[in-house]
């Protein structure tokens, strides 16, 4: 059997070799995708050290479960799901140490929405895409972890309501409600950031 040309091999080839217990191909996979996994962890946790730890844990878990990977999705999708699950576990533990957030109370009563006006917002007209990404990032940081997570999973990971509900261990109705409030709050924060920038 020909020796694997690790730096030039496709992900799939590296994964198959790593599934046989070879660590060098796995190291290459870590190198190729570590930024993506770290970025997902950071977008959910909003803390560099925690994101670093969780991203490394994800790679450890990925290695331990590599034989379960059946090549039906891309390796990065599979790794990202592992990372998301670890982030959710981490966030749940952190949340359990805090009292219930105001956001959750509002979701249950629905009180905020009835007072919230529909904003007319078109952010793409003035700022460049990279600047807009910066602003979205700043706005996401101001959201509660439940709202940020549901937005990340739906808007950036393209997960369906059902899948998000399973990941977040809540009902589909809760996902819909969280997503709704998350979008409204994000819009509100973006408007205020726009006003700050203009003044």
User: Within 78-117, which residues bind another protein (CB under 8 A)?
Assistant: 78, 81-82, 84-86, 88-89, 92-93, 110, 113
Return the residues of window 51-80 that contact another protein according to CB under 8 A.
51-52, 55-57, 59-61, 63-65, 68-73, 77-78
Does 186 bind another protein (CB under 8 A)? Our answer is: yes
> Element (H or E) spanning 46, and its range?
none
Chain-centroid distance of CA 134 in Å reads 16
Instruction: Tell me the closest approach of the beta carbon of residue 184 to another protein, in angstroms.
Output: 8
The stretches of 110-171 forming alpha helices (DSSP H) are 111-115, 129-141, 145-151, 161-168
User: In the block, which residue shows the tokens 């105001």?
Assistant: 102
Instruction: Tell me the closest approach of the beta carbon of residue 63 to another protein, in angstroms.
Output: 5
> Element (H or E) spanning 74, and its range?
none
Return the residues of window 131-160 that contact another protein according to CB under 8 A.
132-134, 136-137, 140, 151-152, 154-156, 160
Does 191 bind another protein (CB under 8 A)? Our answer is: no
| Angle, CA of 54, 81 and 18, to the nearest 5° | 85
């Amino acid at each position: 059997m020909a020796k694997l040309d690790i730096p030039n091999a496709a992900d799939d080839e590296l994964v198959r070799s790593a599934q046989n217990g070879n660590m060098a191909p796995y190291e290459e996979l870590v190198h190729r995708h570590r930024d993506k996994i770290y970025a997902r962890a950071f977008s959910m946790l909003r803390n560099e050290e925690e994101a670093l730890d969780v991203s490394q844990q994800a790679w450890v878990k990925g290695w331990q479960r590599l034989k379960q990977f059946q090549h039906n999705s891309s390796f990065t999708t599979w790794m990202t799901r592992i990372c998301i699950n670890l982030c959710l576990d981490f966030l749940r533990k952190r949340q359990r140490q805090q009292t219930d957030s105001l956001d959750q109370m509002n979701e249950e009563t629905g009180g905020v929405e009835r007072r919230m006006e529909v904003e007319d917002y078109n952010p793409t007209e003035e700022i460049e895409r990279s600047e807009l990404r910066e602003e979205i990032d700043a706005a996401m940081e101001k959201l509660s972890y439940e709202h940020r997570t549901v937005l990340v999973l739906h808007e950036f990971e393209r997960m369906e309501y059902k899948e998000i509900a399973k990941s977040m261990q809540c009902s589909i109705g809760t996902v819909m409600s969280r997503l709704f409030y998350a979008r409204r709050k994000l819009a509100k924060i973006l408007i205020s950031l726009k006003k700050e920038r203009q003044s």
